[in-house]
Structure 1
Amino acid sequence: MELFEAHPRPVDGIRVGIGGWTFAPWRDNFYPKGLVQRRELEYASRKLTAIEVNGTYYGAQKPATYAKWASETPEGFVFSAKAPMRIMQSRALAKTGPQIEDFLGGIASLGDRLGPIVWQFDENQRIQRESFGEFLRLLPASVEGRALRHVLDVRDPAFVNADYVALARQHNMATVFTDSDEHPSFADVTANFVYARLMRARSDVPTGYTDAELATWAQRAHEWADGRQPDALPYLSKDAAPQRKRDVFVYFISAAKERNPAAAMALIQRLGA
């Protein structure tokens, strides 16, 4: 019998995960005692339904590496991945087409495990709206016949406003809801899927979030999936998004990182997986 035979399935198109799968404290409270490091992805992917890869932000991997990751994960599991920072930090965003094509051509080796691609623009980066619009037009709708989902993570508060929301909607690209005091936090739905990072886990709570908080996030995830925009969240635009069924990606990231796997598994359980 395989050690990691059972695994959860997405519920109503809602996937829940964490950032990465290599973190020393998780070997004390998430991974089984004695599990060799090379099997950590295999294990994590059978307890969660998605993982966001941060390492690709610092440098793309070889296609063979992506293919290996895919082979270690079960059917229905997906990776979100940050695009390499050298693309977003280019002084000529409108000329990054070849770099975009190179990155996406490689990561396409994930096959059906390829989830949303995150394009992160850091807080100290000042973006010109015209060049940003030209950049968005470079992002392809598909790669090797597989539809792509693009996520915009702009962290410059001066750029993030209703016009930004409208531009993202025009291109059917999601914006990141961060639930954070560190980054712009708004819940306007801008695409046919939702991308949320929950960044308030606490070390003194075994599951990072209390039962009541997890119940609230489960309800909000279902509302997003059903085509609604949850109340009591911050919004930048008065224009409501079209009501339609959506896939939802929820990641527990940063904060009390050691608690994030427990938080993700608790939310998956609440969703009914």
Structure 2
Amino acid sequence: MSPRSAPAASPADSTPNTLRIAWSTRLAARTAPARRAALRTAPPPALAPADRLRSRRSTPGRRKAASRAPPDARRIARATEPPRTRSSARAAWADTRRRPASPKSTRSRSRVNAFARRHAKFADLGSGTTAATPLRLGTCAFTAVGWVGSFYPKDLRSGEFLRFYAQEFHSVELDVTWYRTPSPEMIRGWNEKTPPGFVFAAKVPQTITHDKVLTDCRPELREFLDAMAGLGDKLGPLLFQFPRFDTDVFATLDEFLAVLDPFLRELPRGFRFALEVRNREWLQPRLLDRLRARNVAFAWNDLHRMPRPEQVLRRLDPVTADFVYLRWLGDRYGIERLTQRWDRTVVDRSREIAGWAEICRDLRDRELAIYGYVNNHYAGHAPATVRSLLDRIDPSQRRPQSRVNRQATLFEL
């Protein structure tokens, strides 16, 4: 039996069979005096090694929900694990025709594709062409301090930012929706300023994820979904971005699941949802199983206090839906010690980007649509990072860069 037709290992299987992540070798550490000297030099500054970037907060503060007690014991007891049947998935996988693959590529895809081997619904993925698989990469929001002159032309009116942005990238993750549900006028403007095929991902309002924490929030969710539906075919995934919860809100993952389970069951059809958690100890199979049962994407983030991608792949199948949602967030407090103007790359993320590009290529081999968004806090200038990712994943999807002030590209990764 070939390696690709063998039954998949259980989640508890500890066999080391991970992706060959390109950033496994650490960058050489610079001394503290050298770092201080680098900060004193005139711009443009040298790139800071990513593995030397540390947040000023050794233990990040945890978000506390407003006026809300933890679930009671009865609700926790009712949270049950979904049934896990493997035989049909294995049989479907064994009977599926596959293209020949070299031992290296088989080994590289084994973890990313483990989900398809264990779930018959997606066992037939991977037989199509990568070029036809959607790859939607963009930035978190389309405005930032320092982007005028480095990304947007200096003489461009702010009302035309989105129109210009949509000529550069295929998608954007809206941040404004986290603060409030957009008005019909905002929806109309977004539609008018973007071409067909452009995709808006959007954060679900904080009222739902931070204030009410999925409890008694049906009216708010209905209002938000009704508004976002106005984008029509341009509407992409909607992100439930949760904070890092303190133990006085959810003492354990099970308490969170007791609230999450009924909420997921009531999500309406016709929308794509993704869910991000920032409690690293919550990245466990039973959380991903809940998302998988409802075709909700696990929002896989590159955030300084979360496990590295290779650590996730050793323990989990990160694919929980028929699409993938990625976020490159970085270390906000660490990078703000270097800059607070987002007009240039200041952190060297070349190793991380090379590793993520390999992961994305493997995911596209499974014909999984990819939605991915970069924050300025990742490397300093999100547009440059998006271009670097596109160059490494699929250069054919990178659009010609407009003729603007190219200061930021001096340090593109």
- Give the TM-score of the pair, scaled to structure 2: 0.54
Q: 1:115 to 1:207 in 2, by over 3 A?
A: farther
- 1:86 Cα offset (Å): 0.8
Name the residue aligned to 2:231: 110
Question: Contact 1:25 / 1:258 at 8 angstroms: preserved in 2?
Answer: no
Number of equivalences: 242
Q: What SS class does the counterpart of residue 377 from structure 2 fall into?
A: coil
1:214/1:37 CA distance change after superposition, 3 Å: same
Q: Which residue of 2 aligns with 1:236?
A: none
Which residue of structure 2 aligns with residue 15 of structure 1? 136
AA matched with 1:217: W
Q: Which residue of 2 aligns with 1:100?
A: 221
Q: Does structure 1 residue 180 correspond to structure 2 residue 276?
A: no
2: distance between equivalents of 1:169 and 1:25?
39
| Greater fraction helix | 2
Partner of 1:136: 264
Superposed counterparts of 1:1-273, under 5 Å: 12-91=133-212, 93-124=214-245, 125-126=249-250, 127-142=255-270, 148-183=271-306, 186=312, 188-200=318-330, 206=345, 213-227=352-366, 245-256=367-378, 258-270=380-392, 271=394, 272-273=396-397
Local SS of the residue matching 2:280:
coil
Shift of 1:25: 0.5
* Kept in 2: contact 1:88–1:120 (CA 8 A): yes
Aligned residues of 1:93 and 1:134 also touching (Cα < 8 A): no
Matched with 2:49 is none
Q: TM-score of the superposition, structure 1-length normalised? A: 0.79
Of 117-126 and 167-176, more deviation after overlay is shown by 117-126
| Preserved CA contact (<8 Å) 1:16 1:264 | yes
Consecutive unaligned residues in structure 1, runs of 5 or more? 1-9, 143-147, 228-244
- The 2-side partners of 1:111 and 1:173 are apart by 20
Distance in 2 of aligned mates of 1:208 and 1:18: 17
**Aligned partners of 2:345 and 2:198: how far apart in 1?**
25
Seen in structure 2, the aligned counterparts of structure 1 residues 210 and 163 have a Cα distance that, compared at 3 Å, is: closer
Superposition CA RMSD, Å: 2.6
User: How far is 1:138 from its partner?
Assistant: 1.9
CA distance in 1, matches of 2:198, 2:304: 30
What is the distance in 1 between the residues matched to 2:187 and 2:224?
12
Q: Comparing both chains, which one has the higher relative contact order based on Cα–Cα distances under 8 Å and sequence gaps of 6 or more? A: 2
- The structure where strand makes up a greater share of residues is 1
* Cα distance in structure 1, aligned partners of 2:165 and 2:184: 21
Cα distance change of structure 1 residues 69 and 257 upon mapping to structure 2, 3 Å threshold:
farther
Post-superposition offset of 1:136: 0.9
What letter corresponds to residue 219 of structure 2 in structure 1?
P
Kept in 2, the 8 Å contact 1:177–1:195? The answer is yes
Percent identity over the alignment is 29
User: How far apart are 1:262 and its partner, in Å?
Assistant: 1.2
State the alpha-carbon separation in 1 of the partners of residues 348 and 167 from structure 2: 21
Q: Alpha carbons of 1:257 and 1:20: their partners in 2 closer, same or farther (altered >3 Å)?
A: farther
In the alignment, the residues of structure 1 paired with residue 358 and residue 346 of structure 2 have an alpha-carbon distance, to the nearest angstrom, of 17
- CA offsets per residue over residues 109-130 of structure 1, 9 Å max, x none? 1111111000122112525322
Cα deviation, residue 157, structure 1: 3.3
Q: Distance in 2 between matches of 1:108 and 1:220?
A: 31
- SS where residue 201 of structure 2 aligns? strand
Equivalent residue, structure 2, for 1:242:
none
Q: Give the 3 Å change call, closer, same or farther, for CA 86–200 of structure 1 in structure 2.
A: closer
Equivalent position SS for 2:302: coil
What is the CA distance between 1:91 and its match in structure 2? 4.5
